[in-house]
């Protein structure tokens, strides 16, 4: 590849990694909204579930009373799984502002913010083609690390979400049946 092709490749790669980060953030925001909505709906069932648990524990014999304790366990597990899911989702959309490289990149907004406008303009205008390629490669690397971290968090949050959904469904069914 010649220098122009390397520059174009580097720029496209940089743009692509930014799009992956944006996609991960949008996906996390959508899932977060869904989790909060489902959790809010499940909270409306809490008084009914509390009554069922109290009735099972205090007003029935030992085998059925055990079901009350089992419902308590499932309720705590459900709340724990939803909390873990929310934690992973918040970690996705919470900005990670430390670049992996220690370079003062002209593509990284915090580096730019620490400069005077005149200094930033002068630095950009002095860039040679090789320097610009280095800037794109450096920031692409940093963004790739961020994108991978975000997608790992999405994977974890979906895993916990599946289990919390199953437990939540079980608790809803208990409320409907009773």
Among all chains, which residue has been given the structure tokens 């999405």?
A: 154
Strand, helix or coil at 45? coil
> pTM for the complete prediction?
0.78
Both tokens of residue 68? 């009350």
Report residue 99: phi and psi, to 5°: -70, 150
The pLDDT value recorded for residue 65 is: 84
In angstroms, the CA 178 to CA 172 distance is 10
Q: How many structural domains does the chain have?
A: 1
- pLDDT at 158 > cutoff 90: yes
Q: Per-residue pLDDT tens for 88-137?
A: 999 888 877 676 666 778 888 888 888 899 998 998 888 898 888 988 99
Q: Per-residue pLDDT tens for 46-91?
A: 888 888 888 888 888 877 788 888 889 999 999 999 999 999 999 8
Number of C-alpha atoms within 13 angstroms, CB side, residue 122?
5
Query: The domain containing residue 88 runs over which residues?
Result: 3-177
Instruction: Single out the residue of 106, 112, 108, 94 nearest to residue 142, CA to CA.
Output: 108
Q: 96-113 in b/e burial notation, b at 16+ Cβ within 10 A? A: eeebeeebebbbbeebbe
Given pLDDT bands bounded at 50, 70 and 90, which one contains residue 18? very high
Largest CA distance in the chain: 83
Given pLDDT bands bounded at 50, 70 and 90, which one contains residue 19? very high
- Count CB-CB contacts under 10 A for residue 50: 13
Both tokens of residue 147? 């994108």
The 3-class secondary structure across 106-174, one letter per residue, is CCCHHHHHCCCHHHHHHHHHHCCHHHHHHHHHHHHHHHHHHHHHHHHHHHHHHHHHHHHHHHHHHHHHH
């Amino acid at each position: 590849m010649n220098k122009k092709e390397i520059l174009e490749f580097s720029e496209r790669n940089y743009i692509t990694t930014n799009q992956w980060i944006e996609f991960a953030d949008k996906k996390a925001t959508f899932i977060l909204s869904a989790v909060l909505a489902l959790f809010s709906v499940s909270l409306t069932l809490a008084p009914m579930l509390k009554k069922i648990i109290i009735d099972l524990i205090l007003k029935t014999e030992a085998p059925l009373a055990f079901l009350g304790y089992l419902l308590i366990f499932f309720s705590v597990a459900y709340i724990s799984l939803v909390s873990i899911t929310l934690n992973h989702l918040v970690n996705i959309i919470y900005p990670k502002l430390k670049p992996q490289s220690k370079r003062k990149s002209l593509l990284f907004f915090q580096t730019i913010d620490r400069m005077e406008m005149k200094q930033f303009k002068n630095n950009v205008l002095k860039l040679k083609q090789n320097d610009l390629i280095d800037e794109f490669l450096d920031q692409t690397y940093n963004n790739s690390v961020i994108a991978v971290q975000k997608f790992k968090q999405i994977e974890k949050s979906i895993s916990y979400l599946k289990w919390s959904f199953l437990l939540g469904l079980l608790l809803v069914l208990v409320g409907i049946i009773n």
